[in-house]
Amino acid sequence: MTKPAFNFKDYIRPRFFPHLWCPGCGHGIVLGSLLRAVHELGLDKNEIVITSGIGCSSRISGYVDFHSLHTIHGRALTFATGVKLSKPNLKAIVPMGDGDALAIGGNHFIHAARRNIDITAIVMNNRIYGMTGGQFSPLSGSGKKATTAPYSTIDRNFDVVELAKSAGATFVARSTVYHANECKDFLKQAISHKGFSVVEILTQCPTYYGRKNKEGDAIQMMEGYKTNTAKIGSKRLESNPHLIQRGIFVEDTTVPEYCEAYDKIIETAMKGKA
């Protein structure tokens, strides 16, 4: 039996549209890649819970026709942990912005990774707080302009991939919205991976980050993702090692998944009682 062709309308809630993202925002491409990934995996919409926090990126949860939980700033992973542990057969997907995931939510990010609970965390990295109007984030990096860094930032940035790796995430990947198909493929693998998976997707904010830092319009910023990144293992990266690396950095299936490990605790506890 062949799967029906992908149709956006099968996966969105028209009532929620038009969306609130600015013209030229990259988040819609992340949404498209995510929906295509879900479609290609053949998942039932009833088995997906999408949990988000607060910010531009977090609005993604309302647009999709899954069980959706739009929570409080930075804490989406904690709510998703409750959902997943109490009903492990559900697929937990958590899209987050860079501030949501790694400033206010940084502690939850590393602890979810440490537990290796089967949640797919998507970090939509536009290097800025968009919804509040262009303040720098922990992923902006130094020497950048923002409304709260009128003289330029002195804060260094996290490297999401390195942070996720060292915190124990068992699937770690990075792509950009320029590489929409690659995004979709990484998301498919992340959702299928049993354990905590992190997919960082570089996505442009022409309205605030682009304007403040004179990086041009959406198209120019997307071209930047093409020219400034390279796939790991590629010749291009070998000859330009300073480029931002894209690819799957970690895929480890040897670490026990948290909910499965807890099922063994239940088994032990029940025996102990009997």
Partner 1 sequence: MKDKEHIRFLQGNEACVEGALYAGIDFFAGYPITPSTEIMEHLASRLPQKGGKFIQMEDEIASMGAIIGASLTGKKVMTATSGPGFSLKQEALGYACMAEIPCVIANVQRGGPSTGNPTHVSQGDVNQAKWGTHGDHAIIALTASNHQDVFNITVEAFNMAETYRTPVIILLDEVIGHMREKLVIPEPGEITVVERLRTSVQKGVDYHPYLPREDGRLPMSDFGGEHRYNVTGLFHDMWGFPNNNPKVVSELLRHLMEKIETNVNNINMYKEYWLEDAEYILVSYGSSARSAIHLARNRRARGFKIGVLELQTLWPFPADMVREKCAGAKAIVVVEMNMGQVVTQVKNAVDHPNKVFLANRVDGELISPSNIKTLLRMIQGKGV
**Contact yes or no for 27/124 (Cβ under 8 A):** yes
**Contact yes or no for 96/105 (Cβ under 8 A):** yes
Query: Measured in Å, how far apart are the chain's first and last C-alpha atoms?
Result: 48
Q: How far is CA 221 from the centre of its chain?
A: 19
175 binds partner 1 (CB under 8 A): no
Measured from the CB atom, is 71 or 175 closer to partner 1?
71
Residues whose CB is less than 8 angstroms from the CB of residue 227 and which lie 6 or more positions away in sequence, other chains included: none
61 binds partner 1 (CB under 8 A): yes
Give the nearest distance from C-beta 97 to partner 1 in angstroms: 16
User: Footprint of partner 1 on residues 225-264 (CB under 8 A)?
Assistant: 262
Q: Choose, by CB under 8 A, the member of 34, 38, 49, 177 that binds partner 1.
A: 49
Amino acid found at 256: P
Buried b (16+ CB within 10 A) or exposed e, 134-166: bbbbbbbeeebbbeebeeebeeebbbbbebbbe
Q: Choose, by CB under 8 A, the member of 25, 26, 38, 51 that binds partner 1.
A: 51
Give the nearest distance from C-beta 182 to partner 1 in angstroms: 29
- Choose among 49, 109, 34, 121: nearest CA to 74: 109
Stretch that binds partner 1, among 23-31, 69-77, 162-170, 176-184 (CB under 8 A): 69-77
87 binds partner 1 (CB under 8 A): yes
Q: Choose, by CB under 8 A, the member of 34, 35, 38, 69 that binds partner 1.
A: 69
Structure tokens at 21: 């993202």
86 binds partner 1 (CB under 8 A): yes
Measured from the CB atom, is 79 or 136 closer to partner 1?
79
- Degrees to nearest 5, angle at CA 73 with 144 and 91: 110
Measured from the CB atom, is 14 or 143 closer to partner 1?
14
Give the nearest distance from C-beta 75 to partner 1 in angstroms: 5
213 binds partner 1 (CB under 8 A): no
Q: Where are the beta strands (DSSP E) in 59-181?
A: 67-70, 91-97, 119-125, 128-129, 135-136, 171-176
| Sites of contact with partner 1 (CB under 8 A) | 13, 15-16, 45-47, 49, 51, 61-62, 65-72, 75, 78-87, 89-90, 107-108, 111, 262, 265-266, 268-270, 272-273
